[in-house]
Amino acid sequence: LGLTKRAPEECQDLARVWEDAARRGLLTQDVANSWGVSLRRANYLRRQIEFTLGIKLPSLGGSKGVETLPRFEHYKIDKKKVRAIIASDWHIWPGEVSFAERIFLKTLEDHTFDYVILNGDVTDQPSVSRHGALRGEERLALVDELEEAQARVKEVERRCKKAKRLFTWGNHDERLDKNIARNAPELAGLKGTTLEDYFKKWHFCLSIDINGRVVIKHSWHSSIHAAHANAVKSGKTMITGHTHRLLTRPYNDYTGIRYGIETGTLAGTMGPQFRYVDNNPRDWHPGFLILETELYKDGSMDVRPQLVDCTLKKPVVYGQTVEL
Ligand SMILES: [Fe+2]
């Protein structure tokens, strides 16, 4: 199979991690994370270990284990009526408080929600990015960034004391954890080595499911047709961030209507976080989503998305214009 042997001592170390994961009922993805490699690479390493040591490693759990692992949890909401507010791609940066952020906070103050969902990329974490610093860029220290992020997220917490707070992992949010996994895997589990430790009042998960009909997660497709592709291929209403676009794409077929929804960004689109875009124009839209769902006795469910478009001077929330 074109496999080459690795150093046996190294293979023994890797095999120990694999066998320990099997004992604890973890998944190949967990092993990949602790090794700081991709899933594909982890499977390749497994074969290499087996080949080098002439042993057979145990198979790791299938998708059943997912729900028992908080970090990769598919958080389930089973409720007749749900009223949620969903914002993504905040990319919090010291001194940069966008208009969309202020409208978001005002909306939390004026209305109540069952769920407040920060749908990924709350943080930016350029200092622990795999990408090198851009020309002349002074990198924001992670400690400063996280302190700022904690303070700003606290403003949300203050305004939604009763709501359940959910935080879905975004690609930027994972940078600290990935950095530890890659460069100091022996520190895994130590306090402060995961982003979760900095936002204790939030329940972290990978995705959220409402009554089996709606999926909310940071990203899936990312082309200009993302919303359409997400709705068609998932077979559900799918709500994502990551693209920084704010739009709803209804899709209808024999099974009924569903939506692909992209939830914009809470950040200022010209902010210093986005220096990597150079000075090019960016088709991004500040705003967020209010989502209501209602499940009926006949099994049908209404999904009512209301985008709050913060490119407007006076955005509209529940049919009313908002002024700061
Ligand atoms: Fe993202």
CB 301 within 8 A of CB 295: yes
Phi, psi (rounded to 5 degrees) for 212: 70, 5
Report CA(108)–ligand 1 centroid distance (Å): 23
- Rounded to the nearest whole angstrom, what is the distance from the C-alpha of residue 263 to the centroid of ligand 1? 11
**Structure tokens of 41?**
């690479």
pLDDT at 61: 64
Taking residues 67-81, report their average pLDDT: 77
Chain segment 90-121, per-residue pLDDT in tens: 999 999 999 999 999 999 999 999 999 999 99
Q: Summarize the confidence of residues 147-163 as an average pLDDT.
A: 97
Higher per-residue confidence, 174 vs 70: 174
How many whole angstroms separate alpha carbon 58 and alpha carbon 28?
11
| Residues paired with residue 75 on neighbouring β-strands, in sequence order | 208
Residues β-bridged to residue 303: 293
Name every residue whose Cβ is closer than 8 Å to that of residue 171 and which is 6 or more positions away in sequence: 120, 121, 218, 219, 242
63 token code pair: 């998708």
Which three-class secondary structure state does DSSP give residue 239? strand
Res 3 pLDDT > 70? yes
Q: Assess whether pLDDT exceeds 70 at residue 18.
A: yes
How far does the centroid of ligand 1 lie from the alpha carbon of residue 143, in Å? Answer: 21
Torsion, Cα 114 119 125 130, to 10 degrees, reads: 150
179-188 pLDDT per residue, tens: 888 888 888 8
Long-range contacts of 42-46 (CB under 8 A, 24+ apart): 45/14, 46/18
Centre of ligand 1 from the C-alpha of residue 313, in Å: 26
Asked if the model's pLDDT at residue 189 lies above 90, the reply is: no
Task: Give me ligand 1 centre to Cα 94, in Å.
Answer: 19
Residues lining ion ligand 1 (Cβ < 5 A) are 121, 170-171, 242
Between 168 and 29, name the one with better pLDDT. 168
Look up residue 175 and give its two tokens.
């940078």
Geometric angle at alpha carbon 197, from 196 and 198, rounded to 5°: 90
| pLDDT tens digits along 220-235 | 999 999 999 999 999 9
3-state class (DSSP) for residue 75: strand
Provide φ and ψ at 115, rounded to 5°.
Answer: -135, 135
Q: From CA 246, how far away is CA 262, in angstroms rounded?
A: 5
H/E stretch holding 157 reads helix 142-159
Q: Pick the range with the lowest mean pLDDT from 177-181, 185-189, 281-285, 304-308.
A: 185-189
Confidence of residue 147 (pLDDT cuts 50, 70, 90): very high
pTM value is: 0.79
CA of 285 to the centre of ligand 1 (A): 14
Q: How far is the CA of 244 from the centre of ligand 1 (A)?
A: 8
Once rounded to an integer, what is the mean pLDDT over residues 125-146? Answer: 83
What mean pLDDT is reported for the chain? 91
On the question of pLDDT at 64 being above 50, the answer is no
The phi-psi region of residue 281 (left if phi > 0; otherwise alpha if psi is between -120 and 50; otherwise beta) is: beta
Q: Label residue 169 left, alpha or beta by phi (over 0 means left) and psi (-120 to 50 means alpha).
A: beta
CA dihedral 159, 294, 76, 103 (to 10 degrees): -30
pLDDT of 252? 97
What mean pLDDT comes out for the span 145-165?
97
Which range, 12-21, 122-131, 198-207, has the best average confidence (pLDDT)? 198-207
Find, among 260, 256, 303, 265, the residue nearest to 283 by Cα: 265
CA of 241 to the centre of ligand 1 (A): 7
pLDDT beyond 80 at 133: no
Ligand 1 centroid to Cα of residue 206, in Å, is: 13
